[in-house]
Structure 1
């Protein structure tokens, strides 16, 4: 089969690799119909996530058709069309039983490695380094899905792939980030980062009853997308330092600060002024693994007694965090990889009711064979790229980026 393989920093290639096989009675083999590049995939592409190995297959946002099932999977059948959570979860451990699926005790075979980095292990994750299991990802023609009796969810035939694909990750991630804020009817929510996760965070904050959402970014098309969702926007290009942003948000909230602040950026955040130069220098020489600019700003900006929610991916160590602000303002911080299985059915119901069409974030639909170009385009935000969906069955000779951009539903 053909698959997107990691070869090093800024080097991904589409190669022919062995087809996956059933290795456990709870496995399934999925023929992938749609797969996407996630913003967190760029952390792998840019070389900031350790334990990647040459020829690792990338991708954790994918869906498709079941073509083979292990003998213990009784809730699905061959031919079912399913979305697959990026979180690999056993369904039986303490954490899975409490709907904390991303904390599964049993799905990461590399527990000792994860414990060295984080103290404890999270669940296994498709296509996201050997820290979380070394599982082959879904940017491929086929993929093996462990614990298939727990993860994949059948989706209705009348919904197009584009409407349900993001149930695998970024829609539940944005929703959980907003839900973690315990939003009240008169709340103002500030969202750092207007990429795909940020867009779903904005949409979810409004769905959960926020009175106002303030979206913060520096990319014009992302800010415009946020405005189309009725969010107010702050363009970081108009500011020169973190204190200016804090004061701007105070001014917009009558001196109080946002009730909730959501960092949808993560480990490659762009700071302001000297802050950004400092973080970039330390990250390049690996004196810190993460650039926590958005988190610093969120902690400083949030009102007293407010909540800071962090769906943005952090992998290791970042410094200069304002812990005094966190403690003295009595802030609540909530974060974590998304417990996707918990959100699949309720968010599918919202899609079916027409409350949201998740396809609004897609700017490009491309063949899998164009993955190397797609990664560069998504990373560089060229050609107004906001989200790339790739289709293994789409022939590269019959399509080009220009022909496919925004043209297919």
Structure 2
């Protein structure tokens, strides 16, 4: 089959690789109909490359049609149309029974000290081949795949794989009260959806970014926007919009590669140029993130408010404004999304006739899988108004 593979820092290519096969009784094989490039994939493209090997298949936002099932794949049947959550969870362990699917103990990566295995996301998370390919092997198929109805466009349900439940969790974790204000930092795909979810829940939303097309898209849905390039201080701008108090909840939808952190960027770049044997321990145990978005999220929330972090971080020695966090009594909630914890509530919206969250129009680019390498570069450099890319095998 053809698949998008990692080849080195800022280098990916579509190659012919072996077709996946059933390896465990609870596996399934799906024929991929749509797969998307996630902002988290760009961390592999840039920062987390030391934890990948050339030839690793990338991608964790995938849907398709079931081609084959193992004897213990539950009620999954050949021909079912399914979306595949990015985290691989069993549904029955101690963690899963508490809705903590991103920490599944059955697929947990104890050797690397990380949570549940993820599709297409480095040796830290199990080195499981990803879904930017023609076919995908799905472990724990008795629980993971989400069945969706036939007929609707793929984009109506594709984002159930990651960014839509991630945005839903980001909003839920922000704990914005009725009549309150939610400030969303980063208006990429997750930030856009977080803002729309908050608006749909009747909250006031302030969105922060520097990319004109992202600001315009958020504004078109009713978001009040702050252009980072036109203000001296984002926290001060948000304080001005909230009677000097700050937002009730803030969402960091950016993560480790935020703009505005030049020294951290230089350190990350230097580590990425080292041989993997040297870079891996440095990136894992001595990592430092570009934290401008997180710090602004902390400084923009009101006293007693909540900071929700959905952006991916990988640092071990990141500096935090602890005195301010303590003095202002803020709460922080963060972590990988527990996808299936939220899917029932989300599907109630997606199954409506109206596209309430605008998911069908979120993708700005639909690209053949064969052209995925160019799409990665375009997305990473924010060229051609790119907000979201869907690949078609």
Pairwise TM-score range, normalised by the shorter structure:
over 0.9
Partner of residue 137, structure 1: 130
Which whole-Å CA distance do the structure 2 matches of 1:100 and 1:277 have between them? 35
Correspondence 1:175 to 2:175: no
What residue number does 1:200 align with? 193
Aligned partners of 1:22 and 1:28 also within 8 Å: yes
CA distance in 1, matches of 2:7, 2:87: 24
Superposition deviation, residue 246 in structure 1: 1.6
1:382 aligns with 2:374: no
Which residue, out of 241, 258, 266, partners 1:281?
Answer: 266
Counterpart position of 1:309: 308
Structure 2 residue 187 is the aligned partner of structure 1 residue 189:
no
| Superposition deviation, residue 12 in structure 1 | 0.3
Equivalent in the alignment of 1:325:
324
How many equivalent pairs are there?
Answer: 377
With normalisation by structure 1, the TM-score equals: 0.90
The aligned residue for residue 276 of structure 2 is none
Segments of 5+ residues of structure 1 without an aligned counterpart are: 116-120, 393-409
- CA positional deviation for 1:50: 3.9
Q: Secondary structure at the match of 1:32?
A: strand
RMSD: 1.3
> CA–CA distance in 1 between the matches of 2:262 and 2:391?
34
User: Whole-Å Cα distance in 1 between the matches of residues 98 and 368 of structure 2?
Assistant: 39
Give the Cα separation in 1 of the matches to 2:50 and 2:376.
19
Q: Secondary structure at the match of 1:33?
A: strand
| Match of residue 396 from structure 1 | none
- Distance across 2 between alignment mates of 1:10 and 1:365: 21
Instruction: Tell me the equivalent position of 1:76.
Output: 76
Distance 2:314 2:217 in 1: 28
Q: Distance in 2 between matches of 1:6 and 1:289?
A: 23
Q: TM-score, normalised on structure 2?
A: 0.93
TM superposition shift of 1:207: 2.4
Match of 1:214 in 2: 206
Question: What's the secondary structure of 2:378's corresponding residue?
Answer: helix
Residue-by-residue CA offset, 1:378-399 (whole Å, 9 max, x unaligned): 111111111000010xxxxxxx
Distance in 2 (alpha carbons) for counterparts of 1:283 and 1:360: 34
C-alpha contact 2:305 2:330 (8 A) present in aligned 1: yes
The equivalent residue for 2:279 is: none
CA distance in 2, matches of 1:321, 1:23: 44
- What CA distance in whole angstroms lies between the structure 2 residues aligned with 1:178 and 1:74? 32
3-state DSSP of counterpart to 1:389: strand
How many angstroms does 1:318 deviate by? Answer: 5.2
Q: Which moved more, 1:67-76 or 1:34-43?
A: 67-76
SS in 2 for 1:285: helix
Is the partner of 1:4 in helix, strand or coil?
Answer: strand
The aligned counterpart of 1:23 is 23
In the aligned structure 2, how far is the partner of 1:233 from the partner of 1:7? Answer: 38
Question: Is the contact made by 1:217 and 1:236 (CA closer than 8 Å) also made in structure 2?
Answer: yes
What SS does structure 2 have at the residue aligned with 1:94? Answer: coil
Query: Which position in structure 1 is the counterpart of 2:247?
Result: 258
User: Quick one: structure 1 residues 5 and 374, their matched pair in 2 at CA, closer, same or farther if it must change by over 3 Å?
Assistant: same
CA apart distance, 1:345: 2.2
Whole-angstrom CA distance in 2 between matches of 1:215 and 1:181: 14
Q: 1:49 offset after TM fit, Å?
A: 5.0
CA contact 1:183–1:209 (8 Å) conserved in 2: no
1:26-37 equivalences under 5 Å are: 26-37=26-37
Aligned to 1:118: none
In the alignment, structure 1 residue 366 sits paired with structure 2 residue 351: no
Structure 1 residue 245 corresponds to structure 2 residue 245: no
- Residue 65 of structure 2 aligns with which residue? 65
Query: Do the aligned residues in 1 keep the contact of 2:295 with 2:321 (CA within 8 Å)?
Result: yes
Deviates more, 1:91-100 or 1:317-326: 317-326
Moved more, 333-342 or 49-58: 49-58
CA contact under 8 A between 2:166 and 2:339: conserved in structure 1?
A: yes
Structure 1 residues 50-74: Cα deviation after superposition (integer angstroms, max 9, x where no partner): 4211110000000000000000113
